[in-house]
Each structure stands twice: as C-alpha cells, then as structure tokens.
Amino acid sequence: MRAAPRAVPHAAGAEAATGPGSAVVAQGDTAAALRGARRRDRRVYTRSHPLLFALLAAVRRRPVARLGRAVLVNGTEPYREALTRIPLDRAAAGTTGGAARELSGGRTLFDQEGTDHRDTRRAVAGELGAAGVERLRPVWRAVLDRELAPLADGHPVDLVPLARELAGATVRALLDSQAEPSALAGAAADAASAAVRDHLPGPRPPGTARAAARATARLEALLDSGCPHGDQRPPTAATQAAPDTHEDAGLRAMIAVAAVNTTVAALPRAVAWCADGRLWEQAADDRLRGALVGELLRVTAPSPLLPRVAAADAVLGGCPVKAGDRLVLVARHAVGADVDPPDAHRPAPSAVARLVFGAGPHACPGARLAVAQLDDVLAALAPYRPTVVTARVDRRAALPGWRRLTVRATTAPVRATTAPRPRSESPS
C-alpha cells in the first residue's frame, strides 16, 4: 500500500494552518475528505448492483477465488496474467467480445484474434493516436466552454448531460457521422444497457435479447443518418479494416458504445472525487494534473469488471482454471481502487494504474483519448473549485455512474499563473 496522501488545504475558504501540529490536523482533514469522497463514489456500486458488489467485496482480499464455474480475479498480477497469458474465448456468450458479436452480427475489434485483430486495432489506434486526439480536441473543448459557462454566473451545472454531449460530439467527429451528439450518446447508452441486462447472471426477463438487438440497430442507423455522402461515405482508417458493410456498421456501433459509456461513467465520478476529496489544487497545477488524471481513472475504473471465458486449462494465482470457466476480472480491485485514494503527489506505478485499460494486445486503444478528455475537464473546472450539490445514481446504466451530478462554483475563475497546459499523454 502506498503512503498516506499529502495534506492539501481546502481550495475554497480554508485558512492556512499554522502552529505546532497544524500539518497533522491538515492531513487529518484531507484524509477525512478522501474518505467522504470514497463513500459517495461507492454509491454508484451499492445502489446500482448491490448484490454483485456485495459478492465482489466479500472476496476482494483473495487474489483469486473460485465460485462454482466462475473464477474471480482480484490480484494485480493474476489480473494481468489472465489478460496476457491465458488463452481466452473472445466470442463466448457473456463476454465483451461475445456481446459485441451478438449485437453487431459480425466480427468486431472486441472478439477478433490474430491478424484480423491486429489489422483492425492498428487502424483504430491510428484514429486515436496523438494526431487523432489533437484533431478531436477542439470538439470537446467547445462543449466544455459552452456548457460550463453558467458556473461563472453562479448557476449550477449538471455534469452528466455535459459528459453525454461531450462523448457524443467526440464520437460523431471520430466516426464521421452527422448525428446529433446527445441523441447519439443516448442511443449508445441504451444499446449498452440492453446488452448488460441480456448478459447479467441469473434469469433474464423475456425479450432482453431482442431489445438489445433493436437498440444496437437504432444506434447503427443513427450513426449513418444524415451522412452527406450517403452510401458513398468515405471510410475512416478503422472501417477500412472491416470492408464488409455489415461489419463496418457493427464496428462503428461498438466503438460508439465503448467510447460513450466509459466517458459518461468516468468524467462525473472523477469530478466528484475532486470536489469531495479536496483535490482541486492538484487539478489546477499543470505539473500535477497529469498524475491526478491517471489516479482518478484508476480509482473510478470506468469498466470495473471484465468478463472473460478461458479457452484452455491453466493455473491462475495458484487456482486451477478449466476450459470454459468464466473469469470475472475485477479491475477495481486489481488497481487498488478500493484501497488507495487518488494522490498526484504519490501516484500508483503506471504499470498498475494503466490496468484499467486492460493489458496486452487487447488493451483499450482509446486510453490516450480518455486521458486527454479528463485532463481538459479538470483544467476547465479547477478555477471554479466546484462542490457537489446533487448526486443521483443511474440504476440503468451499463457502467456504474451518476444519473445526475450537479456542481456549483465556490470561487471565481482566476488567471492561470503556471505554464500553458502540456498535451496529455496516454499512461500506456
């Protein structure tokens, strides 16, 4: 476990502590604030999937735990090994790849192996590399400038619809679509939510598979609606790797689902951590913000569980694994999100923090994009030192998150005194 976080004075209205023992008092205040931030963040789990969260919490101290045919993986090294050394059935039902294949009806990045996966991933990574992210950056910065403006006039801002529009606008630009950003984000959220309901353990309500397929079809249609080139839409580098029209649509839809849902889950949660944990001083410091971004992505772990299926017999953390066993890879536990609070002064090793994006050849190609977006969100909000006014959990979302997270400024923006913001780099 890392050392206790360094004391950071409250940005809004806190007096400088002086005299003997003041550092200890300040450190205690900060520790209490971080505990409060963790309590709030736990609500996105306990109120959306209480039984699942209780089960995972009960075995979180065991690096690997077997429950029937399911193997729960909590330890850092077993988690990494499961993603890089154990053969996995990427098209199995109940896995990310299986859900993507079932919904799209074709092979996508999420269920591919070998040459197909390398070719598609190389194309997608090209769109989301340094140059691609800088091309997209003005898109989400325009959303931030517009949607955060009310804070300067003392009005509250709900960060969930902001994150939804930011994600939708980014995906629209990435996939060369003319869809309205909020509608696009809503369709991606509906598709993901329907897919999760169809793949949760236990009995499924009637019609869940059909509902998931319909939601994905609506998303695919929306992505192609209003395209100025009609059927002659020029392919992006990503879709050139999937020339079949149906596979093209499926890949586009799955990219939209992944990008929108992780963004809408992560950004409001990260801001709540900053507000409750008194982290705005770190967010305002250009020298620390990059480390803080990595820490916030680690503790929020936007995709807290990675469902996989073993394709061959193996041993994982001393636990025998049989072909066909379900592997529940708990990213939240593997990166210490349940133990170590975020601290830009003493961040977790990058090899641990970046596990929230997976590991090996199937690691998330959108890591650089996620880092850049959160960096810009924190930089835009830090001058206001916002506090949380209202927080309500989204019980229908595919990923743990807020349905509403309203913040209000506690200070007026001040002119930056540090050097211009550097470009964010992916932790991977």
Dist CA 312 CA 171 (whole Å)? 36
Q: Are 207 and 214 in contact (CB under 8 A)?
A: no
Tell me whether strands 314-316 and 305-309 are parallel, antiparallel or unpaired: unpaired
Sequence-ordered strand ranges (E) for 140-229: 157-158
What are the residues facing 387 on neighbouring strands? Answer: 408
Amino acid at 387: T
Using left for φ > 0, alpha for ψ between -120 and 50, and beta otherwise, residue 88 falls in beta
The Cα–Cα gap between 193 and 198 comes to: 9
Alpha-carbon distance of 115 to 121, in angstroms, equals 10
Q: How far apart are CA 143 and CA 170, in angstroms?
A: 10
| Residue 376, pLDDT score | 98
Predicted confidence at residue 18, as pLDDT, reads: 44
Distances (CA, A) of 291 to 157, 347, 357: 26, 7, 16
Q: Which two tokens stand for residue 325?
A: 């066993």
Tell me the residue length of the chain: 428
Provide the whole-model pTM. Answer: 0.82
* Cα(198)–Cα(190) distance, integer angstroms: 12
| Nearest-angstrom CA–CA distance, 99 and 48 | 21
DSSP single-letter state for residue 293: H
**pLDDT digit string, tens, across residues 41-97:** 999 999 988 988 898 899 999 999 999 999 999 999 999 999 999 999 877 766 655
- For the record, the structure tokens of 102 come out as 């079932």
Q: How far is CA 220 from CA 169, 232, 254, 397, in A?
A: 16, 16, 9, 19
Q: What is the pLDDT of residue 17?
A: 41
Q: What is the pLDDT of residues 361-415, one digit of tens each?
A: 888 889 999 999 999 999 999 999 999 999 999 998 989 999 999 999 999 875 4
What DSSP designation does 279 have? -
What pLDDT does 9 receive? 36
CB atoms within 10 A of CB 274: 27
Compute mean pLDDT per 10 residues along the chain, 428 residues long, and list them: 38 40 62 96 93 89 94 97 91 62 52 53 73 95 98 97 97 92 92 69 61 83 64 45 54 88 96 98 97 98 92 95 94 96 96 94 90 98 98 93 98 56 46
DSSP-assigned letter for residue 232: G
Neighbouring residues of 353: CB distance < 8 A, sequence distance ≥ 6: 294, 295, 297, 298, 335, 347, 427
